[in-house]
Amino acid sequence: MPIPLFAPYPEGRPRRLRRDGFIRNLVCEHHLSAHDLIDPVFIVEGTNQRQPVASMPGVFRLSIDHVLLRAQECVELGIPVMALFPVIDPALKTPDGREALRGEGLVPRTVRALKGAFPQLGVMVDVALDPYTSHGQDGLIDAQSHVLNDATVDVLVRQALVLADAGADIVAPSDMMDGRIKAIRQALEAHHFVDTRILAYSAKYASALYGPFRDAVGSAAQLGSADKKSYQMDPANTDEAMREVAMDIAEGADMVLVKPGLAYLDVVYRVKTTFRVPTFAYQVSGEYAMIEAAARQGWIDRDAVMLETLLSCKRAGADAVVSYFSLDAARLLAGVGSAL
């Protein structure tokens, strides 16, 4: 659709609509609020644990007691969802990632604690094996270290059922295996978890921006020099993302996600305008770390850039943004300042 043109100058003066704060607010096209944010949290065993992540200043690995304190702040600020990412003891990591299937594991216990204390807070859980495998891949591997698709899907289904049984509101397969959304949806229906939502990581790219995340969850050491290019998407491709999203929607995904966010806003835009389904963006660890590093050097205004980048995801079409800035952004939006 062609964009209507203003009358030519001087009859048309676009600056009229920028002169005063009231008029800028009145004609603002996109808005960012706490309701647009998902708070990702790294969780660890133990009590009173608040371990700093060196490559992500201001981010911590939290034990369940501290997760509950953070959840209370999310509720108070209006952040609707917390996303959990486990840091698993290396002694529990195995080639088959069997710890992911344990009903009394770290994630199920955290889910139950959160839903017991804050039933109004949505809890999203990652469905993937990389935190649990001794090789750091998102699935099972063969003797040649190739990630096996169908065998991995079988395990992911079992993991999703364990998490749904614990009370997770949203299961989020981030593994990029083919066919896993259909398999998980069918299993959820068969086990009467009909209200458990699926957020599919439909366009997850083999990005260089995940490094700090892998440090945070402890999978970097296991992965070593290997990569995930055989299942995560080529950063050069966007048509492929459309096919992936279309497949996941057809297989039963309720929502889809593009990861990373800032470097792939064109993909966010294409997904939203093509499919008109709930579309999320993930402002990933590397994007967070770069902003923090530049701010700590005094090169940028940290809070202004934080809000601008989050708004850019909304402008591109994201209905919600997963961001490590979520709490600080919500505080600023509420007028109570940053935690920096």
Task: Please confirm, yes or no, whether 314 is among the known catalytic residues.
Answer: no
- Residue whose tokens read 């003797």: 143
Of the residues 115, 182, 228, 259, which is catalytic? 259
Of the residues 93, 204, 272, 314, which is catalytic? 204
Residue 60, SS3 per DSSP: strand
Flag whether 244 is marked binding: yes
How many whole angstroms separate alpha carbon 121 and alpha carbon 167? 12
- How far apart are the two ends of the chain, measured CA to CA in Å? 43
Task: Please confirm, yes or no, whether 204 is among the known catalytic residues.
Answer: yes
Task: Supply the residues annotated as catalytic.
Answer: 204, 259
Residue numbers in the known binding site are 244
Residue numbers in the known binding site for Mg(2+) are 244
